[in-house]
């Protein structure tokens, strides 16, 4: 399978479908339709069917989708039917929040180690984690074989830390720093960018 720097639009929608399916399942629902799922995520029913058909036959004409089955399939496709260890770099407010975040459970991820470069923080505990020294980060991450990292350092340090993560073998970076980063071919980058999320809504405001 060809690796891409930024996932294509269809792959990018699957996690959103998965989140909506989890929501329906949590409310005790067992089946859904492309129409209902589409309404929930703001995509047309035809687009849902087209997207899912790229990966197989997951529903029955007229009977819709079994939520547990479709959830299982999407988790397989997205490779979150396993648990990925994640390194978090930057133990400011945002890093603390992530280290204690309860939202990763059953979604394919667990924070495995956290780093900072501040001597006053190194060795301190955040939740269950002892903050490690970024100076040893490249070796530590490489030895642990960690491929996924979250970057919560200040904007001014983000590119340098990203370069180190890539040197350590990290292939997927979720960037919280408010700055665009450059990564080489074969490394994936996604942004957590509240401004973008807000701008998607102001368009519709009076």
Binding site for a copy of itself (CB under 8 A): 1, 3-9, 11-12, 14-16, 18-20, 22-23, 26, 41-43, 77-80, 84, 86, 92-94, 96-98, 100-104, 107-109, 147-148, 150, 154-155, 171-172, 174, 177-178, 180, 188, 190-205
Smallest Cα–Cα separation from 109: which of 144, 147, 61? 147
Q: How far is the CB of 7 from a copy of itself (least distance, A)?
A: 5
3-state SS assignment for residue 153: coil
Q: How far is the CB of 37 from a copy of itself (least distance, A)?
A: 12
Whose structure tokens read 């407010």?
93
Nearer to a copy of itself, 9 or 63 (CB): 9
| Token pair recorded at residue 196 | 């973008």
Q: How far is the CB of 185 from a copy of itself (least distance, A)?
A: 11
Could you give the CA distance from residue 92 to residue 112 in angstroms, rounded to a whole number? 17
Nearer to a copy of itself, 60 or 76 (CB): 76
φ and ψ of 116, to 5 deg: -150, 160
Nearer to a copy of itself, 123 or 154 (CB): 154
Q: How far is the CB of 156 from a copy of itself (least distance, A)?
A: 10
Work out the number of other CB atoms within 10 angstroms of the CB of residue 156.
9
Nearer to a copy of itself, 58 or 191 (CB): 191
Handedness of CA 136, 140, 143, 146 (dihedral sign): negative
CA 53 to chain CA centroid, Å, is 23
């Amino acid at each position: 399978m060809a690796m891409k720097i930024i996932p294509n639009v269809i792959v990018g929608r699957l996690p959103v479908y998965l989140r909506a399916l989890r929501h329906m399942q949590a409310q005790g629902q067992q089946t859904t339709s492309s129409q209902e799922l589409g309404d929930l995520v703001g995509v047309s029913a035809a687009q849902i069917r087209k997207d899912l058909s790229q990966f197989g036959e997951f529903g029955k004409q007229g009977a819709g989708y079994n939520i547990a089955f479709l959830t299982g399939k999407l988790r397989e496709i997205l490779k979150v039917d396993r648990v990925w260890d994640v390194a978090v770099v930057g133990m400011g407010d945002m890093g603390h929040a992530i280290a204690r975040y309860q939202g990763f459970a059953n979604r394919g991820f667990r924070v495995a180690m956290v780093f900072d470069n501040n001597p006053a923080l190194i060795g301190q505990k955040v939740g269950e984690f002892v903050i490690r020294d970024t100076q040893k980060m490249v070796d530590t991450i490489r030895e642990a074989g960690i491929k996924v990292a979250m970057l919560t350092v200040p904007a001014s340090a983000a590119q340098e830390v990203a370069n180190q993560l890539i040197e350590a073998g990290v292939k997927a970076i979720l960037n919280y720093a408010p700055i665009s980063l450059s990564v080489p071919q074969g490394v994936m980058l996604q942004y957590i960018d509240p401004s973008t999320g807000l701008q998607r809504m102001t368009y519709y405001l009076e």
